Each structure stands twice: as structure tokens, then as C-alpha cells.
Structure 1
């Protein structure tokens, strides 16, 4: 009998720590454990995690470790959410947990967290493809923030993170609650102001039909909103009725009615009010309540890596679509961007023996090619510097922090600056990351040089790599004096990185 391949996922969130043990081969959950913690309350009140909370968390995790040993689990991943990382003593807590339990915790950025969550929602939601073809907002509710992601006609449209999670809101307004006789009005004004800011940037031409609601820390929210429904979907009318009851009935009575703690109920009103405002803005017709959690996203990712499942939605395409929307928002030259992107990917594919990079780095190069000129919106003379910080400040769902910095750096160095030792910006990266940045930058600089005039003179290129010679043949429809001059300038850095100086060879026009 073949021994089952087991994998354990552990998440450390603002309100709970969770363990799931899965038989990857059979796609079967064998164990699920959850323990409540008060990390979020500590952070939002005091900005640090208290010693007692750290001990409470370590004790729960030690129990998880023992169960993993009982199952003989050797492969696992432990993730702490982005909200936990906000604690001023987060690194100290991480180290203490490692010493007390042996678990190596990985921080995830908000973008990574939302990516895993969305991946789980797509995999676990029936008819996900159909839903996003009809105008859908994916609402990822965490205790500290919410992520609003819009799909229409099956394509990614827009995503925005708002620090408006119910636990954060509750703790922020806790002092004001005792000073007012109408806390609901205060809460509504606060939430409305944030949603109004979002609405200014959201796509205006989407006809919304559905909300898909997910959120690791708000299981009680789903419990209250199910209303006995087997299909996990409620109508807008039902929501309006429930919302009216929540405003009329004291929290203690609500807690008893839904068999929830007072702490849980105190977060239910901000969540419901958030949905109310979003329904008002979007006029969506239904709310689908997904069971997907962050921990499920980790299991989905592990299953994909072990080639046990295939994703039913391509999130890399969403990532590229997001970059394209950002590029258009900053009014970049789209024809130039598209051609540089095309040439950069062709060069990457043909130069595999030289760079030794993989598909993931190819994706980073493609993103850098799309976003390289967004800084021109601020200053055309030093656009590459502004492109760098704009990319780092922009949320790209699915990239790690390191990957996002690589994209930003490659965009920075595609122009006149050259990555080199002694450059303060370049020196902040470790050697391996510097090497990746340099390899991708060298390729992007050559691709960009081939359309330096922004007139798309070069229609096609071909790459010939023979021992110590690299020839790039170009078919053009106009004089290439500027392109050739820029190409030769940027070929110097390519030679430094790869040990070969590319040569450009004109082949004439295609027409």
C-alpha cells in the first residue's frame, strides 16, 4: 500500500491560529484545528503583541506540532497574515515561536495573502468562471483590512485594499462608542467616507450582479448570514432585512440568537455596514458566502505544486491585466509598451542558455516591461526613478515583496541608470537578487532600445546565439539611426552581465 503524502498548513491570524492536515494525493482533509487568540486586539490597541498573547499562541501551535508528529507530517507551511506583521514586536514574537515550537513562520504581504485567498475562492466556488463573467466583486474581509477585486466578462478589472477590517474599526472607534448615544450613525459615517474614496477609483462601466464574500477571521459573519440557506447565497432583500434587525436589536440579544460571542457580534455590525455601503455603490443583486480561507489557499498552492490539481482560473493573467490597467492609468505610450514587452519576452525565450532563469522570472520581466514608463506621469526627465517607487507602492496581487522589488528595480534600471556596486539602491539587495535584477535589466534595456523613438520602426526580430556571438536581426520600416545608437549604448551592460556583446543586423522591412 502506498503511503499517503501528507501536507500541513498553519495560519496565524489576528483572531485565530488554524491547522489543516491534508492527504495531498487523495485531496482529503484529515484534521482541522482552530484556536482563538487575541493578537489583533493587542495590535490595534497597543501596537504590540502582549507576552500573554504570545504564550497563548505558542501553546496552541505546540499542540499543532504534536498532532503533526502523530500523523508523521514532514512537509508543511506556516504563514502569519499581514495584519500580524503590523505589530512592532512581530519579529521578536516570530523568533520566540520558533524557539518554543520549532515552526518557521513565513510572513506574507497583503498582496500574497489576498492572492492565496482568491485562489482558494476560485477553486472552491462552484461556477466561479460563470460568476466573474457577469460582473462580480470578490470581497476579502480580514480583521484589519478588506480587499475589493472586480471581475467583468471573465477578466480582472481592478483591485484595491482598504484598511477597514471590522476588528480594526471596532478598536479604532471603541473610545468614541461610549461618548455617543448613536454609535451606528458614527460607524456608518466612518465607513461611508472610506467606501466613497474607493468609489472614486473603481471601474465605472461594470454592471455588478454578484458579491463573493470570503474572510479567514470572519467565520461568525458567515454563520450569521447563512440564514439556513444550503447554497450559501443570499439575496439583497434578505440582507436588507437582516441589517434592519441588527440595528434594532441589542448586541447581547443578537449574540444569543446566533449563538456567537459578544466579541464576534461587535464585529458583525461593521462588516454588515461595509456590505450595505458596497451594495449601495454597486447595486449588486446577490451575496455568495464562500467557505474559502487563507489556509485553503495554501493547500491549493501545495496541491498545484505537487501536480495533483489544476487551477480553474489563471491568476497570472489577472496579475498582467492589473499591470496593464496601472499602465493605462498613468497614461503610458501603449504601443511602445506592447512592442517592448513583445521583444523582451522573445529575447528571454531565446536566451535561456545564457540566463538560466525560469517562468517566474519571465513573468517579472513582463511586468517590468508593462510598467517601466509609468513614472513619466510624474516627471519625464527622471521617469525611471518614479517608476521604481510607484511600482513598490502599488499592490500587485500575487507577488511577494521581494518579487515586487525586483520588478520595480528592473523598471528603474531600464533607462539611463545602470545597476552596479556602490549604487545605494542596488546594494540593498542580496547577491542572488542583484543577479536576477541585472539579468532581467540587461534584456529589457535591449528590448527598449529597439523602439527608442517610440515609432515602432522595428516590426520583427530574430535572435541568433552561437558560441561567442549574439546577433539580433531586425526587420524595420524606417531609418534606425537612433535605435542603433541607443542599442550600442545599452549593449555594454548586456556584455557585462552575459559576457557577450549583442550586435544588431538590419534585414530591411517586411512590407
Structure 2
């Protein structure tokens, strides 16, 4: 649904190889106009690669560029903006100093995007554009390979469903920093990199192969630049199709791809060659694993995805909910892999959804409801490890899993909710809860209160309740359940859990039982 008034906002991206500012006028997801765009190629990634931190001089240069972007936004009347930083700040050992200096010198608060969220933003925008081009309406599986400076995202979809998502800490900077300068100049280096990447990706090979991937999707500046080196020109946001054989012939022509060969053949800067070389080898290794029929190359990148997501979230566009449903489907697949009672999980999710919607004026937003649904789906994954202390096992499983579409802080919330969903109460004496920010702790308290009451309604796992209704006023919330079975266990458990709910929300919680 289009906004009543176009939204004007700015997106600044602080990246490893470029800094950019994009000013956007957003009316609806199909009506996004770029008002102003400024970009500057930088070599910050090269410095981070060598030193694992950014120097004083580099931070000063970043601040100088940011001040220029700030002036441009002021000239365009932009007051709504966000500054995003990806691997260049995320991977730096002096991350806090960088962010503090930026704030002191420019007034900008930097949002450091963790790797799973960075990859999700790209997927969000790429999937929408491909959907608009009719490229997602297929019964064949597609693999989206996203390579950042600090990691690799492997995402498989088929039609409108997400089938698989895994993030590996194996980005271009990480690959190059694994070898010293002498090793990188060796004739054996290309083969060594290939073997290194293969060994790192081997754990996901069997998973990926079982989807019978037909389309291999490459996106972003590096994908576009490699296509250009091959002699193919990308046009705007259109997706280009190539044959895997064409890429294989390009790689074979080097007789071992190295940064030096890229520099000599194409006269590109060394810092770009150091990014493109592992990218090319990584593409090659994945192609050997999945044997797709076609390569799809798009120039769509991180900023494009953020621009679209930022506006869609404010507009509350229906595509946002379509993508969230994909994330929920993926979470259900994860739960099934841990042999969760999926019918019970569905009941708890459904009941929790109803109750949380009735609490909208108690600070429960749509985003919070989405995170709560994920917690309900994954609450019992720990039973796969052991029935004893299963909530603690579930916590560690979730903390060790990238939940697509969630930031790291939201994942911490989910992990803590499942930790307390069965017994105990969130307490600062617990290490897992103590280190959370206060805003996260509030989310956890509310989610645990909701989830435990709604879990109580199917505590027997027998799905005795045929219908549930919720009514509330300023002081009381009444849960009406319809059943033709004995729900004494559910009633007693609910009454016990309702005490904590009342403590958190300040509402009396009452259960009323009616016929079917």
C-alpha cells in the first residue's frame, strides 16, 4: 500500500571497497526514485586485511567523507537517514574506537550490520527484483551465493519457499589473510586456495546437492565486475544469464587464477584483484558442487537491498510479510531436523500469535511478533540432544545457528526465550540473560510470559483445544477455549504460568472453558 506522502531518506554505506550515499524518494516498493547518489572507491579493506584494524589516518578519511555526505543530505532536505557499516567495521579490532570517532566528528551513529543480516538485506532486494522479472516463478531450485569481505552466504529457494540457508565465515578478506605474502606469490597458490575453499565448504556440499539446483545466482559488485572481465556487460538492474561452461572456460584460461594475473591481464588495481581472485575461485568450487544449468548475474547489492527494505518496513508493504513467511518456513525446517513435535509447535505458535496481537498497545510490535513466532517454532529443539536440561541445549543450538532474517541481537532474544520457555524466570544472575541490553531483556520477559501461557494450552501435546478466543480490557485478559475433552492438565499449568504473565504485563489472566 503506497504511502500518503513520499518518504525521503538517506542510506550511507561504509564498506571495504567503497563508501556511498544514496538519497531516495520512496512512494511504494515499485516506485523508488534515486534523488542523489555519491560513491567513492576506497582501499580500507586492504588495510584491514593487512593490519586487522583501521589507522588514525583512515578513520580521519572516513569522517571527512561522511561530513561531505552529511552536507549533501542537508542540501537535499534529508532528515531521515541511517549509516550502515559492514565488514570494514565489523571485522576491525578497533571497532569501538572507529564508531566513537565517527560519532564525535560527524554526529552519525553507525549501525554495524552483522553478516547474516547483511546477506539477508541483499537477498530481500534481489528476490524482489527477480520476482518482478518472473525469475522466481519456477519449480526448479536456485542457489544464491553471496560473498562479503567476511563471509559467504549460501541460500537455496524453490518457487516461493526457502529451502536452505547457511553462512560460512569464509569471505574474501578471510581467505587472503589465511596465507602470507610469500604463499600468495607461489605458483601453487591457486590450487591451494581451491583446496582450502573446498575443505571449508565440504560440510554443506551434501545438503546443497540434494536440492538439484538449476540456477546459480551471483549478485553484487564483484559478480558484475567478473562478468565484465569475461566480456559481458550488465545493464542496470536486469539479470544476465550465462552458461556455466562460459565461466569454466574463463577460469581455465588463467591456468591458475592469481591476483597478479588479474592485474596484468586486465590492468585493475591490486586491491581489487585481491578481492576478485578468491571470489572467482569460490564461484568455481561451488559450481563443481552443484552443476547448475544456468548462471544468473545481477548487479543488485547491499545498498539496493537496504533501500528497498527500509522503505518497505515503513510502508508496511505486503512483500515484507511474504519474506517473513519464508523465514518462518525455514525455521520450521530447522525444527523438523531436530525432530520437534511440529503439530505441537504449530499450536503454540498459533496461540502465541493470537495473544501477542491482542497486546499491540503493550509495546508488542509486528517485528516482535515475528521474532516471537520464531521462538515458538524452535522452543523444543533441545530435546533432540537430551530431555534433561533441554532448554539449555536449545539455547546453545540457536546461538550456534544463523536464523535468516534476524540480527544477532534478535537471535540472542530467541535463544533466551527458549531457555526460559519451560521453567525458571529471566534473571540477571544467569549469565545468558545478564549480558543482554535492557531493550532485549524487555523483549525476553514479554515473550516468555506469552509463550509459557500459550504452551500450557497444549502441554499434553494432544491438541485438545479446537478454538481459542481472546478478549481484554484495561485490567484483564480473558482466554476463551473451546474443547470437548478434559483439559485439567492444561488448566492447572495455565493458571500457574498466568502469575508470571500478570507480573510482566500488569493484566489479570483468566482462562474460560466452553464446549466445542
TM-score (norm 1): 0.90
The structural deviation recorded for 1:423 is 4.7
Counterparts in 2 of 1:82 and 1:393: CA distance versus 1, 3 Å: farther
The structural deviation recorded for 1:142 is 1.0
The aligned residue for residue 7 of structure 1 is 9
Matches within 5 A, 1:185-224: 185-200=191-206, 202-215=207-220, 220-224=225-229
Q: 2:460 aligns with which of 445, 453, 461?
A: 453
Q: Larger deviation: 42-51 or 374-383? A: 42-51
Q: 2:414 aligns with which of 407, 413, 416?
A: 407
Matches within 5 A, 1:111-510: 111-125=116-130, 126-127=132-133, 130=136, 133-175=139-181, 177=183, 180-200=186-206, 202-215=207-220, 220-225=225-230, 227-228=232-233, 232-247=240-255, 252=260, 254-255=262-263, 257-307=265-315, 311=319, 314-352=322-360, 355-420=362-427, 422-465=429-472, 468-508=475-515, 510=516
How many positions carry a matched residue from both structures?
506
Counterparts in 2 of 1:401 and 1:132: CA distance versus 1, 3 Å: farther
Q: Larger deviation: 499-508 or 366-375? A: 499-508
Q: What SS is found at the alignment partner of 2:255? A: helix
Confirm or deny: 8 A CA contact 1:122 1:128 kept in the other structure.
no
Gaps of 5+ in 2: none
Question: 1:146-171 deviations in whole A, cap 9, x for unaligned?
Answer: 10100013210111111222232123
Confirm or deny: 8 A CA contact 1:157 1:203 kept in the other structure.
no
Confirm or deny: 8 A CA contact 2:224 2:297 kept in the other structure.
no
Q: What SS is found at the alignment partner of 1:314? A: helix
Q: Distance in 1 between matches of 2:318 and 2:279?
A: 33
1:20 aligns with 2:19: no
Confirm or deny: 8 A CA contact 1:372 1:414 kept in the other structure.
yes
Counterparts in 2 of 1:32 and 1:476: CA distance versus 1, 3 Å: same
1:67 aligns with 2:72: yes
Counterparts in 2 of 1:218 and 1:59: CA distance versus 1, 3 Å: farther
The aligned residue for residue 96 of structure 2 is 91
Please provide the CA RMSD for this pair: 2.8
Q: Distance in 2 between matches of 1:176 and 1:459?
A: 69
The structural deviation recorded for 1:337 is 0.8
Confirm or deny: 8 A CA contact 1:220 1:260 kept in the other structure.
no
Counterparts in 2 of 1:28 and 1:447: CA distance versus 1, 3 Å: same
Confirm or deny: 8 A CA contact 1:385 1:412 kept in the other structure.
yes
Confirm or deny: 8 A CA contact 2:91 2:150 kept in the other structure.
no
Q: Distance in 2 between matches of 1:175 and 1:430?
A: 42
Confirm or deny: 8 A CA contact 2:257 2:281 kept in the other structure.
no
Counterparts in 2 of 1:60 and 1:317: CA distance versus 1, 3 Å: same
The structural deviation recorded for 1:186 is 0.7
Q: Larger deviation: 142-151 or 22-31? A: 22-31
Counterparts in 2 of 1:256 and 1:310: CA distance versus 1, 3 Å: farther
Q: Distance in 2 between matches of 1:88 and 1:317?
A: 36
Q: What SS is found at the alignment partner of 1:320? A: helix
Question: 1:399-434 deviations in whole A, cap 9, x for unaligned?
Answer: 223322222222222111112465554443444433
Confirm or deny: 8 A CA contact 2:176 2:278 kept in the other structure.
yes
TM-score (norm 2): 0.89
Gaps of 5+ in 1: none
Confirm or deny: 8 A CA contact 2:457 2:494 kept in the other structure.
yes
